[in-house]
Amino acid sequence: RIPVVIDCDPGIDDALALYLAFASPELNVLAVSAVAGNVGVERAADNAARLLDHLAVPSDVPLYAGAGAPLAGSERVPDEPVHGPGGLGGVVFAEAARQTAPGHAADALAGLLRDRPGEITVIALGPLTTIATMLRRHPDVAGAIGELVIMGGAVFVQGNVTPAAEFNFYADPEAAHEVLASGVPIRLVGLDVTRAALVPAEIADELAAAPTPVREAGRMLAHLAGVYAARFGVAAAPVHDALAVAAVVRPGLLDYTPGSAAVERVGEITRGAVVADIRGVTGRPATIRFATGVDADGFVRLLSSRIARHTPG
C-alpha cells in the first residue's frame, strides 16, 4: 500500500477525495491535515474531523491543523459561494469525537516524512501554505518527500477565480511558487484535467439514495452539480480534489507532460497563474509532471464505486 498524507481544506471535493482515499486499499493514509482555503482553518479542521468520524476512520489516524492565512500575510480568499455555507454544500455531520492532534501540521508532516524518507506521497488539495511552511521550516524534508501530488493550477487552460488563476494557487501564489520551484518531484493535477472529468448529476442522485454514510457524499455532489449547472448549464460536477487522489490510486488514469513551472505573484491581472516551461527554455530541471489527459469514464467509475463501498457504521 502506498503511504500517503492528505493536506486539505474541506470543501466538498476535498471531502469526496477523503471518501475515495479511505475506501481505497491501494492507500495507507498516515495522516490528514487541514489548511485554510475554501473555509478558514478551524472550520476546515472541524469539517475534516466530523467527516473522518462519519467514515469510521480509526482514531489513530491523526488530524493536524496547519496554516490559517496565506504565506505573505494577505487576507484569506474565501470560496464559500461554490461550497455553500459551512463548506460542505449544506451537509452537516455530527459533532466530532476525535480531536485535532497537537502541533502545527507543517512540523507534524515533516516528522512523518523524516521517519520514512522517500516513501511517502503527499497529496495536497488546498492552498499550498502548510506545505510551503514545512519546506521553509524544515528544508531537509524536501529530499524526503517521495512525491507531491497537487490539485492546483490552470496550466494550459482558463482559471476559475480569474481567467489566469485557479483557486488553490490564487489563494496563496507565494506558497504555490515556492513549492513548485522546490525541486520536489511533483504531479500537478490542474483544471486542465479536472474540468474534463465531470461527474454526472445522475450519479449524485444514485449515491444520495443510498444509506448513510454514502448518501451524504451524494448530497454534496448534488450541491456541486447544481452550482455548475447554474453557471455553465451542465448537469455535472467537477470533483477536482478527488481526481488528485485517484491519480495516486490508479497511476494510469492521467497522462502527463514533464517540465518546470513558476507561479505569478505580482501580475496586475495574472496573480496566481502558472507559467509552465515544457520546452526547457528556462534551463530549470523538469521536476514537475503536468497532467494533460484523463480517462474521464475511468475516474467517474472509480470515484462512484469507491464512495459506494463505505458501509453503515
- Amino acid letter for position 82: V
Choice between 210 and 275, CB closer to ligand BDR: 275
Among positions 77-106, residues that touch ligand BDR (CB under 6 A) are 79, 82
Q: Distance between CA 230 and CA 309 in Å, rounded?
A: 30
Pick the stretch among 10-18, 90-98, 106-114, 197-205 that binds ligand BDR (CB under 6 A). 10-18
* 79 interacts with, out of Ca ion, ligand BDR, none, CB within 5 to 8 A per kind: ligand BDR
Q: Name which of residues 220 to 259 contact ligand BDR (CB under 6 A).
A: 240-241
| Shortest Å, Cβ 239 to ligand BDR | 9
Please give the span between the terminal C-alpha atoms of the chain, in angstroms, as a whole number: 24
In angstroms and rounded to an integer, the radius of gyration of the C-alpha atoms of the chain is 18
Q: Does 131 bind ligand BDR (CB under 6 A)?
A: no
Does the annotation count 240 as an active-site position? Answer: yes
SS (H, E, C) 204-268: HHHHHCCCCCHHHHHHHHHHHHHHHHHHHCCCEECCHHHHHHHHHHCHHHEEEEEEEEEECCCCC
Choose which of 24, 121, 160, 260 interacts with ligand BDR (CB under 6 A).
160
| Contacts (CB under 5 A) with Ca ion, residues 85-144 | 125-126
- Window 23-82: residues binding ligand BDR (CB under 6 A): 38, 79, 82
For ligand BDR, which residue of 31, 71, 151, 222 counts as binding (CB under 6 A)?
151
Which residue, 23 or 123, is less far from ligand BDR as judged by CB? 123
> Which residues have CB under 8 Å from 218's CB, separation 6+?
204, 205, 206, 207, 208, 209, 210
Distance CA 205, CA 196 (A): 21
Cell of 167: 483557486
Indicate the residue among 220 and 249 with the shorter CB distance to ligand BDR.
Answer: 220
| Pick from 95, 34, 37, 44: nearest CA to 66 | 34
User: Which window, 61-69, 161-169, 196-204, 273-281, contacts ligand BDR (CB under 6 A)?
Assistant: 161-169
The residue within the footprint of ligand BDR, chosen from 168, 260, 270, 292 (CB under 6 A), is 168
> How far apart are CB 285 and Ca ion at their closest, in Å?
28
Give the DSSP letter of residue 153: -
Give the max Cα distance, the chain.
Answer: 54
Phi, psi angle pair for 169, to nearest 5°: -80, -35
Catalytically active residues, by annotation: 240
Q: Which chain residues interact with ligand BDR by CB under 6 A? A: 11, 13-14, 38, 79, 82, 125-126, 151, 160, 166-168, 240-241
Q: Which chain residues interact with Ca ion by CB under 5 A? A: 9, 11, 14, 125-126, 241
